[in-house]
Amino acid sequence: MRAIVAFLVSARLIRWEEPVDDGPYSETLRRYACYLARERGLTPAAVRQYRDTAARFLAGHPDLCKLVAADITGFVLQQSRRYSVGSTKYLVTVLRSLLRYLHVVGEIATDLTGAVPQIAGWRMVGLPKDAPADDVRRLLQSCPRGTAVGRRDYAILLLLSRLGLRACEAATLTLDDLRWTDGEIAIRGKGSESRLPLTKDIGSALVAYLRVRRHAPVRSLFLRVRAPQGGLSAESIKAIVLAAGRRAGVALISAHRLRHTAATAMLRKGASLSEIAQVLRHRSPDTTAIYAKVDTTRLRAIARPWLGGSL
């Protein structure tokens, strides 16, 4: 029924919002979601994530009048056992937003945002995990390019592993983003637009896919193969990478790991960090600086000799 309803909504034949029962806080969460969308300008996906996290917190606290700082720290500690550092940082960001909103609208008497603990997580402590070239080759070879789905998946994997596209950027590509005359592809992500070179292998893969791409009432480049008609979502792109990894027998592969693979491949071919930042569309140079750790060629030039050993 979900697929049928989604098709009718996409065809604008019906209007439908799936009812959500959040108990006594249904109305509070509805107003909070409206506030995030209208006042904060969050995307529908972000609003949904904020709302789900807020619902999880409120479900364990039936009486907001009795909410104290210990309840907040206890919730964060409990959730931190289940999630990574990055996910827990996102959780406390949502929690601060929710508590600030509840205080402003009068749901709670005291502003409890100061009770939300900081999450210890330091930048630049790890190494970017790229996939070996042999694994990427097996990943690409696992796509059955005799079918439309195989050609689609092959083109997606090339974009992720060669140009370092994010899953959300690959999902938002449209037919209009392919600038064949200029040999470029327009990438929109995180509020900005940039252009990257349309290399020969990527261009050939896209042409092969477009020749078998079915017609649809949308301009999305990569389409679903099941009804309702429409473009792929970011989660679908991630699922395609995972499925290709299972077919190829490549463990621990993900869309973001292919992005790291593209960056380290450019680094090994002599690209500078500023050039890599330009291709990956990083806002801050600090984000790209982590790849300096895997540049062993340049690191050898500045490393000091270790007593009793050699580099």
Res 189 pLDDT > 80: no
What local confidence, expressed as pLDDT, does residue 297 receive?
60
**In degrees to the nearest 10, what's the CA dihedral of 147, 148, 154, 159?**
170
Confidence of residue 64 (pLDDT cuts 50, 70, 90): confident
Does 33 share its domain with 111?
Answer: yes
Instruction: Tell me how far apart the 2 most distant CA atoms of the chain are, in Å.
Output: 76
Are the C-beta atoms of 115 and 72 separated by less than 8 Å? Answer: yes
Does 240 share its domain with 288?
Answer: yes
Does 246 share its domain with 178?
Answer: yes
CA torsion through residues 276, 121, 104, 18, sign: positive
Does 160 share its domain with 98?
Answer: no
Residues 221-268: pLDDT tens digits? 999 988 777 899 999 999 999 999 999 998 778 888 888 888 888 887
Does 105 share its domain with 210?
Answer: no
Domain of residue 96 covers 14-115
Does 51 share its domain with 82?
Answer: yes
Confidence of residue 2 (pLDDT cuts 50, 70, 90): confident
What local confidence, expressed as pLDDT, does residue 265 receive?
82
Distance in angstroms (rounded) separating the CA atoms of residues 99 and 113: 6
CATH number for the domain that contains residue 71: 1.10.150
Taking the alpha carbons at both ends of the chain, their separation in whole angstroms is 63
What local confidence, expressed as pLDDT, does residue 294 receive?
63
Q: Quick one: tokens of 236?
A: 């679908």
Residue 301 domain flag: no
Residue with tokens 């009812």: 19
β-pair partners for 197? 184
| DSSP E strand stretches across 30-150 | none
Residues 87-110: pLDDT tens digits? 889 899 999 999 999 999 998 888
Confidence of residue 270 (pLDDT cuts 50, 70, 90): confident
Residues 29-59: pLDDT tens digits? 989 999 999 988 888 878 888 999 999 898 8
Confidence of residue 21 (pLDDT cuts 50, 70, 90): low
Res 69 pLDDT > 70: yes
Does 145 share its domain with 220?
Answer: yes
Residue 3 domain flag: no
Does 83 share its domain with 150?
Answer: no
> Which of 53, 88, 115 is a domain's end point?
115
Does 105 share its domain with 156?
Answer: no
181 vs 307, residue with greater confidence: 181
Residue 123 domain flag: no
Residues that are catalytic: 166, 190, 256, 259, 282, 291
- The number of folded domains in the chain is 2
Residue 225 domain flag: yes
Closest CA to 156 of 228, 213, 217: 213
Residue 300 domain flag: no
Distance in angstroms (rounded) separating the CA atoms of residues 311 and 307: 10
What local confidence, expressed as pLDDT, does residue 278 receive?
79
Residues 144-158: pLDDT tens digits? 999 999 999 999 999
What local confidence, expressed as pLDDT, does residue 302 receive?
61
CATH number for the domain that contains residue 196: 1.10.443.10
Distance in angstroms (rounded) separating the CA atoms of residues 72 and 95: 9
Residue 46 domain flag: yes
What local confidence, expressed as pLDDT, does residue 137 receive?
93
Are the C-beta atoms of 29 and 51 separated by less than 8 Å? Answer: yes
Residue 126 domain flag: no
Does 105 share its domain with 151?
Answer: no
Q: Is 195 helix (H, G, I), strand (E, B) or coil?
A: strand
